[in-house]
Amino acid sequence: QKEVEQNSGPLSVPEGAIASLNCTYSDRGSQSFFWYRQYSGKSPELIMFIYSNGDKEDGRFTAQLNKASQYVSLLIRDSQPSDSATYLCAVKNTGFQKLVFGTGTRLLVSP
């Protein structure tokens, strides 16, 4: 079992729809969770992070964390073609400063 799992996609949504990206993790002691966006041929860039159960909103993005289910998600409202990218989930495990990344979900937003 991988430490951080994501569906590779592609996830296809029409412009204006809500895109829902999901991530599960195996270490129950994981403390903080990050979502990165990576455009093709570019480096990852941080979108947002969350460390408490519940929802955290930032503009069109909402991160949701459920530690009991070991599940973190990213919702993108009013999806735009410019949101088309690979979204990487990263998890900071107990006692370490390093992040463990999932392999990413490719999102395609069609005009």
Contact set with other proteins (CB under 8 A): 31-32, 42-46, 49, 51-52, 88, 92, 94-104
Question: Which 3 state secondary structure label does DSSP give 82?
Answer: helix
Q: Chain-centre distance of CA 57, in angstroms?
A: 13
CB of 107 to other proteins, least distance (A): 16
Name the residue nearer to other proteins (CB basis): 66 or 110. 66
Name the residue nearer to other proteins (CB basis): 75 or 100. 100
Q: Taking a C-beta distance cutoff of 8 angstroms, is the pair 23, 4 a contact?
A: yes
Name the residue nearer to other proteins (CB basis): 13 or 104. 104
Which H or E run includes 111?
none
